């Protein structure tokens, strides 16, 4: 099998709920998911799909992504055997200074292509399924007023979604008020997590807020301190009963220290951070240190990255929490099918590769409606 073509198509997909989140206290807003679909074609007619969302102030713009794949990477990849996966990635990294998100888009597409060529679901290529694993449907609550956040939580509960992650970090006082309002509205019928995005900055401030939250049954708090502040993260972890999750701190330069020093209770892993191979590597390191992981998303994504996350969840013993499948909940029209939510659980069709189908009418998503 040889690679014959590489392409990228940028889509704009309207989100059901305008999205707002905080990153180091800076608020980022989105009404559309702008995402880049990577396609890698082979000489036997197969197509592997990858995805790289373009999130404002976080990831590369669509123009940069297209230029990298079409003008640079394509020439390097044509006629390569996708089974030489490691060699391909090494060549790309050595020749071009590309981000982990660019590598992830290529990595997911190659994994999809390889599993399709073998005519097996991707999770079988990744080690097979772990018996007894189920992924409850979950969704996100953006930065809203306490009253609006509670109303959104009630709506999710009515629709069978009982695991919610609330974005936090623009204002610690509001963060506490939002959680209080949600609990008053839905009680203990949901699991409620917080994603702070480094916005509480340091351990002292984080612990001050967390102690106010403990009475409201928050299950976990994700990345309360700055990514490089491993000592601060460790201090927070050791001084609360709430599970503390490292997210932005999960970096090559910090991963061994995070695990060795048990600086967090759990690691947040995302296929977009380096791809499937990188996610498996981090999960293995965490496993050796006795630390569990969750598998998640950046704001929103199509079924391509959702499917990659589900296959990783199914096949990795210490990925114990799934936050994927949100494309079916957050997007007004999802151009990628294959993820299904039934009985409050996220499942995927048992088809070759990622198991998703991409609409033939992608051009309908190329301009905002």
Q: What is the spatial distance between Cα 234 and Cα 241, in angstroms, rounded to a whole number? A: 13
- 124-358: CATH architecture: Alpha-Beta Barrel (3.20)
DSSP element (H, E) containing 52: strand 47-53
Task: Give 63's Cβ-side CA count (13 Å radius).
Answer: 0
Domain residue ranges in the chain: 3-119, 124-358
**Cβ pair 29, 87 in contact under 8 A:** no
Number of helices (H), then strands (E), belonging to the chain: the values are 13, 15
Q: What are the per-10-residue average pLDDT scores of the chain (369 residues)?
A: 96 82 67 91 97 79 91 94 96 91 96 98 95 89 94 92 92 96 96 95 97 96 97 98 97 96 97 96 97 87 92 96 86 86 85 91 63
Q: What is the pLDDT of residue 56?
A: 65
Q: What is the pLDDT of residue 332?
A: 84
294: nearest Cα among 351, 246, 346: 246
Q: What is the spatial distance between Cα 302 and Cα 300, in angstroms, rounded to a whole number? A: 7
Instruction: Write out the two tokens for 233.
Output: 């993260």
Q: What is the pLDDT of residue 338?
A: 86
Q: What is the pLDDT of residue 27?
A: 66
Tell me if residue 155 falls in helix, strand or coil.
Answer: helix
In b/e form, how buried is each residue of 156-186, taking b as 16+ CB within 10 angstroms?
Answer: bbeeebbbbbbbbbbebebbbbbbbbbbebb
Same fold, 3-119 and 124-358: no
**Cβ pair 122, 271 in contact under 8 A:** no
Centroid of chain to Cα 357: 20
Q: What is the pLDDT of residue 253?
A: 95
Angle at which helices 100-118 and 85-95 cross, to 10°: 160
Q: What does CATH list as the number for 3-119?
A: 3.30.390.10
Tell me if residue 210 falls in helix, strand or coil.
Answer: helix
In b/e form, how buried is each residue of 69-83, taking b as 16+ CB within 10 angstroms?
Answer: beeebbeebeebebe
Contacts of residue 268, defined as CB under 8 A and 6 or more positions apart, other chains included, come to 222, 223, 245, 246, 247, 250, 293, 294, 296
Q: What is the pLDDT of residue 365?
A: 73
DSSP element (H, E) containing 317: none
Contacts of residue 55, defined as CB under 8 A and 6 or more positions apart, other chains included, come to 28, 30, 34, 298, 299
Q: What is the pLDDT of residue 285?
A: 97
């Amino acid at each position: 099998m040889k690679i014959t073509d590489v392409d990228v198509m940028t889509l704009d997909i309207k989100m059901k709920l305008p999205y707002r989140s905080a990153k180091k206290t800076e608020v980022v807003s989105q009404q559309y998911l702008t995402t880049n679909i990577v396609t890698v074609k082979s000489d036997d007619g197969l197509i592997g799909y990858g995805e790289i969302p373009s999130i404002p102030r976080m990831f590369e713009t669509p123009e940069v992504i297209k230029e990298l794949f079409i003008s640079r990477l394509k020439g390097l990849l044509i006629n390569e055997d996708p089974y030489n996966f490691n060699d391909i990635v090494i060549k790309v990294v050595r020749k071009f200074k590309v981000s982990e998100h660019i590598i992830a888009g290529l990595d997911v597409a190659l994994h999809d292509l390889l599993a399709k060529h073998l005519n097996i679901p991707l999770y079988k290529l990744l080690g097979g399924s772990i018996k007894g694993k189920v992924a409850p449907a979950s969704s996100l609550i953006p930065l809203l007023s306490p009253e609006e956040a509670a109303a959104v939580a009630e709506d999710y509960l009515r629709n069978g979604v009982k695991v919610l992650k609330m974005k936090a970090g623009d204002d610690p006082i509001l963060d506490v008020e939002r959680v209080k309002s949600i609990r008053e509205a839905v009680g203990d019928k949901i699991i409620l997590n917080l994603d702070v995005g480094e916005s509480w900055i340091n351990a002292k401030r984080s612990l001050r807020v967390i102690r106010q939250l403990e009475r409201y049954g928050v299950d976990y708090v994700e990345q309360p301190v700055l990514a490089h502040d491993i000592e601060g993260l460790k201090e927070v972890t050791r001084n609360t009963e709430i599970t503390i999750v490292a997210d932005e701190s999960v970096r090559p330069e910090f991963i061994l220290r995070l695990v060795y020093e048990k600086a967090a209770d759990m690691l947040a892993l995302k296929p977009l951070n380096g791809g499937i191979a990188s996610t498996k590597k981090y999960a293995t390191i965490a496993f050796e240190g006795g630390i569990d992981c969750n598998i998640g998303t950046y704001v929103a994504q199509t079924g391509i990255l959702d499917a990659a996350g589900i296959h990783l969840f199914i096949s990795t013993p210490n990925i114990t929490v799934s936050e994927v499948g949100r494309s079916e909940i957050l997007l007004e029209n999802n151009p990628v099918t294959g993820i299904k939510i039934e009985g409050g659980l996220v499942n995927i069709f048992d088809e070759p590769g990622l198991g998703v189908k991409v609409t033939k009418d992608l051009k309908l998503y190329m301009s905002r409606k």
